[in-house]
A and B are shown apart, each in its own frame.
Chain A
Amino acid sequence: MTEQLQSDFDKIIKTSDFSEKEIQSKKSFLNKFIESGFPNRKQEDWKFLDISQIIKKNIGELSFFNDNSLPNKIDPSIFVDGLEHNKIIFINGRIEKIDFNYEDKDKIEINDEIEKKISFDYKNSLIDLNRALTIKVFKISVKKNYSLKKPLIIYHSTNDKISSKNVNLRLDFELEENSSLRLIDYFGKSLDKNFINILYNFNLKNYSILKNYKIDKFKNNNVKYSFNNIQQNSNSVSETFILSAGSDYFKNEVNCNLNGEYSSAFINGIFSLKENQQHEIRTTINHLVENTKSYQLIKSVLGKNSKSAYQGRIFVNSKAQKTDGYQLSKAILLDETSEFNAKPELEIYADDVKCSHGSASGSLNENSIFYLMSRGLNYQQSKELLINGFLLDVVEKITDSEIKNLIKNIIGLKE
C-alpha cells in the first residue's frame, strides 16, 4: 500500500499548484500516516471495529489518485425534493458547485486560501491521511448576526469517472457571533467500494448555533469515516444528528470542545443496520469551563450479522463546575447474530457536576408484541411498530421541524 500511496501522492503534488511550504507540510502528514498506517483494533479507539481489516476485506487494495482536471456533470436527480436549500456538491471528492442562492451574498464568505491548521490535538492517522491528500480546503464563514434562511445540503456522491478507491474531503466552517447554520450531509448515489474520509472543522463563536444532520440512508457498500471537530465559545449551541444506516461500514466521530461558558452540545444518533453492516459512533465531549451542558442519545436496531458500537466519552475539567452531562445508549438486537458494543466513559475532575450515563441492550419485549397482537396486528406489524417507536424517540429530539419532517420521510417513520 505504501508504494501506491507514495506514487499517488507524487501525482497529486504534480497536478496541483501547492506552494513549497504546503508540499512540505503535506509530506510530513503523509509520513505520519505511513508510520502508523490504518488504525487497527490494538488501538483503544478502534477496539470494536477494525477499519484496516474492513478495508482489506471490503475494498482490497486502495488507490489514492483521482484526475480532477475535468469537471463532472451534476445529476439533478440526486437533489432532495420538497425543501428549498443551498447546495454544496461533492463529486468524486471534488467540489463541483457551491450554491448559496437563497442567502445574502455579503453575509457568507467562501475562501479557499486558508491556513489549514486544526485547533486540537489528535492522534488519528486518518486525519493525517486527510490532511496529506486533500487538494482544496474551503472555509465557509457565516457573518455576524446572520442566520441562513434555508438549510445547506452537502451532497456526497461518486460516479464512474472516479479512478481512485479513496476520497478525502475537508470543509471548515466558522460561525461568527450570533449567527446560525443548518447543515445536512446527504450521502446520495455513489459508486461502490470506496473509502471515503471526511473531516469537518467547526468554529462556533459566541451565541452561534450549528445544526448538523448526517443522513446515510441508502444501501451502498462503501467504507466511510467522518470526523467532526467542533469548537464552541460561550452560549453557543451545537446539535448533531446521525442517521447511520446505508453504508457497509460507517464510523462517525464527533469531538466537541466546550470552551465557553453556557455552551451546550447535543448529539443524537440512530443505527438501523441489516445484513453484515458494521457501524460505529464515537463522541468525545470536553467540558472545559463552568456551566456547560451536553446530551447524547444513541439508539440501535440491529439485524442479521450486523454490529454496532458506541463509544462515548464525557470529560469534565477540574474548572468545569456545574457541568451537566448525560448520555444514553440503547440497542435492540433482532437476530442471534447481531452484536452491540458500548463503552460509555466518564472522566471527571470537578465535584459540583451532574453526570450520568446509561446503556441497555436486549431483544424486543415479547410482552409488548403480545399486547399489540392481541389488538389485531400481526407479528411483523407489531415488531415494526415497536421499532419505529423506539427510533422515533431520537428523531423527535431534532429541534428543526422542517428537517425533522424531511428525516421522518426519509426513514419512513410516521407519527
Chain B
Amino acid sequence: MDTRQKDIENLKDYKYGFTTDIENIKAPKGLNEDVIKFISNIKKEPKWMLDFRLKAFERLKLLKEPNWQKPKYPKIDYQDLYYYSAPKSMSEKPKSLDELDPKLLETYKKLGIPLQEQARLNGIAVDAVFDSVSVATTFKGELTKHGIIFCSMSEAIQKHPELVKKYLGTVIPITDHFFATLNSAVFTDGSFVYIPQGVKCPMELSTYFRINASQTGQFERTLIIADKDSYVSYLEGCTAPMRDENQLHAANVELIALDNAEIKYSTVQNWYPGDENGKGGIYNFVTKRGLCKGKNSKISWTQVETGSAITWKYPSCILKGDNSVGEFYSIAITNNHQKADTGTKMIHLGKNTKSKIISKGISAGFSDMTYRGLVDINSKAKNSNNYTQCDSLLMGNKCGAHTVPYIKNKNFDSNIAHEATTSKISEEQLHYCQQRGLNPEEAVGLIVNGFCKEVLQQLPMEFAVEAQKLVGISLEGSVG
C-alpha cells in the first residue's frame, strides 16, 4: 500500500473524531447576563471588558438571526447551549507545560500538534485552544526576544489591556451582525498577536482549535495587530469530535495592519462534517475581517475549507490605507450533505488599492456550495483594481454549485474584472490519467489538486502538504 492509500485508510473515518474524557467546568446552560458575568468573572476580567460584553449583549437583544444564506439549518436554541466549558485542571493555569494535564497533552499529540517544544514542529509557535480556553502557547521565550506578543486572549486582557482596549472591536464592532455580536458578548478565549514596529516574525504562529465538550458552542476571538513595517504569518487549524448533534462555532477574527505591514492568515478548517447522512457536524459561522489601516499594508487570507456541516463565512478586507492590498485564496470542498456559503468582501476605500480573489469550489455527493462575494470600489478609491476568479467543479448531479458575486464600481478610474466557470472533470482528463496507470480515485485526486494549485501554493509549506492530502481525502468515495 502506498502512502496515499495509507492516509486514506487512516482518515476514511474522521480520525479526529475521538473525544477526550476530561473533567470540565461549565457555565450554567443558557444565554443571559449572569452567564456573561460568570464568564467574565472566571476569567478575572477587568470591568471595561465586562462592560464591552454587556453592551454587546444589549445590542444582541435587538438583532435578529440572519436568514438570507443559502444553506438553511434548523433553528438554534441559544438557551440550550453551554457558553463556557474548560478542563478542570485549567482553573489554575499551569505555569509550564510540565504541569499541564497529561490528558490534554495526549489529545494534542493524537491530533498531531506537539505542545512540547523539544518536539518542535519546524519552528511553528502554537497556541492550543481547547473548548473555551487556551491551554498552552509554545515558543514564548523565543518570541518575547523579538518583542512579539503571542498569547491567549484572556492573558492579553490581563497583561496588555492598553492594546486590547485600543483595537478590540475596531474592525468588527459590537454592533455588527448577529453572530459577531453574540461572540462579542460571550467570547471565551482565542489568540492575541502583536508584532511590534519593524519586526518580521521569525516563525509561523499557529492556533489549534478543538471543540471537545458536547452541547457547547465555541466562541473564540482572535486579534492580530501588525504594527508599522512588520510581517506575520498566522495559521489556524481546527477539529472536533464526532457527535450526533450540531455544534455551533461562532468566532470573530480581527486583523489590523498598519503602514507597510503584512499579515498572512491561513486556515485549514477540518471541523467534523457530520456523517454521510448529514447527521451532526459543526456549524461554522465565523466572522473574519481584516483592516488595512495603514499605507502600503497587505492582508492575505488563505483558506482550505473541508470540514463543518455548514460553513458560512466571508473573510473580508477593508482596504482603507492608500496602496493597500487585499488577497483572498480559497478552496472549499463539500461532500455528502455538507453545505457551504463562503466567499469574501473587498471594500476599497483608499487610493490605488488592489485586491485579488481566487476561489475554487468543489462539490460532491449531496452537498451544496455557494460562492458569495462583494467587490465594492468607493468613489474615493481612485485607480483601484480588482480581479476575481471563481471556479467550481461538480461531481455528480445531486450536488449544487452557485456563484453570487456582487460588483459595485463607483469609480471611473478603477477596474474590476470577474470571471467564473463551472464544469466537471472531463472524461478525457480521467481517461488520460488512467491510461498512464492511475486508478480512478488517484486520477481525480491529481486533477483536483491541479484545479486547486493556485490556492495551495499560497499556503505555508507544512500546511500545503496537509491540505493537499485533505483535499484528496475529503472527496473520497465521490467518484464512480
A interface residues (Cβ-Cβ under 8 A, vs B):
44, 318-319, 321, 331, 333-363
Contact = CB atoms under 8 A, between A and B. Distances in A.
B415 A360 contact: yes
Contacts of A360: 415-418
A309 to B, nearest CB: 9
B99 interface: no
B439 interface: no
A231 to B, nearest CB: 24
B410 interface: yes
Contacts of B403: 344-346, 357
Contact of B413 (A343, A356, A363): A363
Interface of B: 68, 379, 392, 394-424
A357 B420 contact: yes
Contacts of A342: 405-407, 418
A334 B407 contact: no
Quick one: which of B400, B418, B421, B422 has the most chain A CB within 10 A? B422
B339 to A, nearest CB: 13
Contacts of B422: 346, 348, 353-356
A318 B401 CA distance: 11
Nearest to B400: A349
Contact of A336 (B392, B413, B418): B413
A361 B423 contact: no
A351 B395 contact: yes
A334 B406 contact: no
A341 B408 contact: yes
B420 A344 contact: yes
B415 A362 contact: yes
B274 to A, nearest CB: 21
Contact of B397 (A318, A347, A354, A356): A318
A44 B404 CA distance: 12
Nearest to B385: A362
In the A-B complex, the 9 residue pairs with the closest CB atoms: A362-B415, A333-B412, A351-B394, A359-B418, A342-B407, A356-B421, A346-B403, A351-B424, A355-B422
Contacts of A352: 397, 424
Contact of A350 (B394, B404, B412, B417): B394
Given A339-B410, A350-B394, A361-B416, A355 B421 contact: yes
Nearest to A325: B422
A343 B392 contact: no
A341 B409 contact: yes
Contact of B392 (A338, A341, A348): A348
A357 B404 CA distance: 11
B412 A338 contact: yes
B407 A341 contact: yes
Contacts of A354: 422-423
A230 B379 CA distance: 38
Give the secondary structure class of B's interface: strand
A343 B416 contact: no
Contacts, number: 116
A334 B409 CA distance: 12
A344 B417 CA distance: 12
Contacts of B406: 341-343
Quick one: which of A333, A335, A337, A354 has the most chain B CB within 10 A? A333
A283 B402 CA distance: 16
B411 A358 contact: no
A343 B420 contact: no
Contacts of A359: 405, 407, 416-418
Contacts of B396: 351
Contacts of A333: 409, 411-412
B30 to A, nearest CB: 33
Quick one: which of B407, B411, B416 has the most chain A CB within 10 A? B407
A346 B411 contact: no
Contacts of A331: 409
A343 B404 contact: yes
A301 to B, nearest CB: 11
Contacts of A337: 379
Contacts of A336: 379, 411-413
Contact of A348 (B401, B411, B415): B401
B478 to A, nearest CB: 11
Contacts of A44: 68
A362 B401 contact: no
B398 A353 contact: no
A335 B408 contact: no
A356 B420 contact: yes
B93 to A, nearest CB: 48
Contacts of A341: 406-409
Contact of B412 (A334, A344, A348, A353): A334
Contacts of B420: 344, 346, 356-358
A307 to B, nearest CB: 9
Nearest to B427: A352
B334 to A, nearest CB: 13
Given A348-B400, A349-B397, A351-B395, A358 B409 contact: no
A297 to B, nearest CB: 15
30 contacts: A44-B68, A318-B398, A333-B412, A336-B412, A339-B408, A339-B409, A343-B404, A343-B405, A343-B406, A344-B403, A344-B420, A345-B405, A346-B422, A347-B400, A347-B402, A348-B392, A349-B397, A350-B394, A352-B424, A353-B424, A354-B422, A354-B423, A356-B419, A356-B420, A358-B417, A358-B420, A361-B415, A362-B416, A363-B413, A363-B415
A294 to B, nearest CB: 14
Nearest to B387: A360
A210 B68 CA distance: 36
A215 to B, nearest CB: 27
B402 A363 contact: no
B397 A350 contact: yes
Contact of B402 (A321, A348, A358): A348
Given A361-B409, A362-B415, A362-B416, A345 B398 contact: no
Nearest to A364: B412
A349 B399 contact: yes
B181 to A, nearest CB: 21
Contacts of A340: 407-409
A295 to B, nearest CB: 15
Contact of A345 (B404, B413, B424): B404
